[in-house]
Amino acid sequence: MFTGLIESTGHLQAKEERGGDARFTFSLNNLDLTNIEMGASIAVNGVCLTAIEWTANSFVADASKETLALTSLGKLGLNAVLNFEKSLTLQTPLGGHLVSGHVDGIAKVLSISEVANAWHIRLRAPESLSRYIAKKGSVCLDGISLTVNEVKEHEFEIMIIPHTFSATNIHTWTQGTLVNLEVDLIARYLERLFSAKSTTNQQSFATEGLTYEKILNSGLAD
């Protein structure tokens, strides 16, 4: 798990094709990796990868064919600017929102405009994911925990403050940039609860799908 608060930017240092899979070497600008262990999880542009080799400021990780196809990692060029975050621990402040590092799809930057001291960025989400994006809800883009300002059909807008703009790879985004999108975990689970159907005759929330009336009758809400 991650928080969506970027700890360092860095670059793609090397990429080795391996029969459809790939092995990446990443260099980090200001994140100390001396205290990680074999198999440590590190989010790279929001994609949870496993460190198999590392130095104080670089690490090597493998990505499967599926990961390359479903995320932007397979399209990265050498020296691309990337966002990095080590996995959440019990001592880590949860300043963003819970992020799994399992990318749901790819969003496309439609426009970027600077307004006063902020940047307004409009993106298009895949149609299958847009229903999970809500105004004032959370979304994770390239590993960054962000708040949604506006939603219109399959498009949504975020507002970026100067610190986030300079401390992440957002300053490299342009119209047409493809970014990794992870929707809010809570939205995913709520949809599953409300649409679930029971395969047994046991009485449960899933018998006919979870409804507001069932929540009231259970005493879980007033």
* pLDDT single digits (tens) 65-81: 999 999 999 999 999 99
C-alpha dist (Å) from residue 27 to 30, 71, 176: 10, 20, 25
Please report which confidence band the pLDDT of residue 186 belongs to, taking 50, 70 and 90 as the band edges: confident
Spatial CA neighbour of 51 closest among 65, 64, 67, 37 = 37
Q: What is the pLDDT of residues 100-155, one digit of tens each?
A: 999 999 999 999 999 999 999 999 999 999 999 999 999 999 999 999 999 999 99
Spatial CA neighbour of 4 closest among 51, 47, 36, 46 = 46
How would you classify residue 116: left for phi > 0, otherwise alpha for psi between -120 and 50, otherwise beta? left
Full set of structural domains in the chain with CATH: 8-86 (2.40.30.20), 105-186 (2.40.30.20), 188-218 (no CATH)
Q: Give the pLDDT score at 129.
A: 95
Least confident range of 33-47, 55-69, 140-154, 196-210 = 196-210
Radius of gyration of the chain from its Cα atoms, rounded to whole angstroms:
19
DSSP of 114-127, one letter per residue? EETTEEEEEEE--T
Q: Give the pLDDT score at 209.
A: 58
Spatial CA neighbour of 110 closest among 131, 127, 124, 125 = 124
